A and B are shown apart, each in its own frame.
Chain A
Amino acid sequence: DTAVSQTPKYLVTQMGNDKSIKCEQNLGHDTMYWYKQDSKKFLKIMFSYNNKELIINETVPNRFSPKSPDKAHLNLHINSLELGDSAVYFCASGRTGTTDTQYFGPGTRLTVL
């Protein structure tokens, strides 16, 4: 019954590695998002995908690449991980062009050593 789910919940890895975080929503929404929450709790949008097209990219390094195989999934791939990538990453979903609520996943805490 989980509306927005993410895996893994925790991810610890070494600098330079490549990792992925998966997100799935079962709400029938047409838009999905990735947010980064830093150590100071500041929440910043990274990407959104609507109908398999990227519609927002907020000056995120190109080491980060969202991939959406279908409307229900938006995975986040990160190449050559850096220490500064350590954060909590939240997936969310919503309906484009509306003021409907965005629903958030539980978050993935990424730690880069």
Chain B
Amino acid sequence: AQSVTQPDIHITVSEGASLELRCNYSYGATPYLFWYVQSPGQGLQLLLKYFSGDTLVQGIKGFEAEFKRSQSSFNLRKPSVHWSDAAEYFCAVGANNNDMRFGAGTRLTVKP
């Protein structure tokens, strides 16, 4: 069965600092991996996705993620965090749109 683990429930970083949000997955085949962001009171917005090819994926808002098959990970990174990045971040895994499973989310707080 497929599953997604986001080990960090809450992360606090200073504005301008670098960010890495962890995501580990369990899946029986080549996974399709996604990162979504949920701003307070809003729906989910796709940041980036990985299906195949280059394991370093670029997304919107300056985010990137790297697929590491050997570690079953798909960590999200940003070199310099902005205050507007404060939100809830969800990693998801699936074979297609009908088979997506979401992680429990990581809440990001940005300190001035």
Contact = CB atoms under 8 A, between A and B. Distances in A.
B102 A94 contact: no
Interface residues of B, number: 23
A107 B43 contact: yes
B63 interface: no
Contacts, number: 59
A97 B107 CA distance: 31
Interface of B is mostly: strand
B104 A90 contact: no
A95 B43 contact: no
A95 B97 contact: yes
Contacts of B96: 96-99
Contacts of B90: 43
A100 B97 contact: yes
A6 to B, nearest CB: 8
A8 to B, nearest CB: 14
A102 B104 contact: no
Interface in A78-113: 90, 92, 94-102, 104-107
Nearest to A94: B97
Interface string A54-98: 011000000000000000000000000000000000101011111
Interface string B32-66: 10101010011111100101000000000000000
Interface of B: 32, 34, 36, 38, 41-46, 49, 51, 88, 90, 96-98, 100-102, 104-105, 107
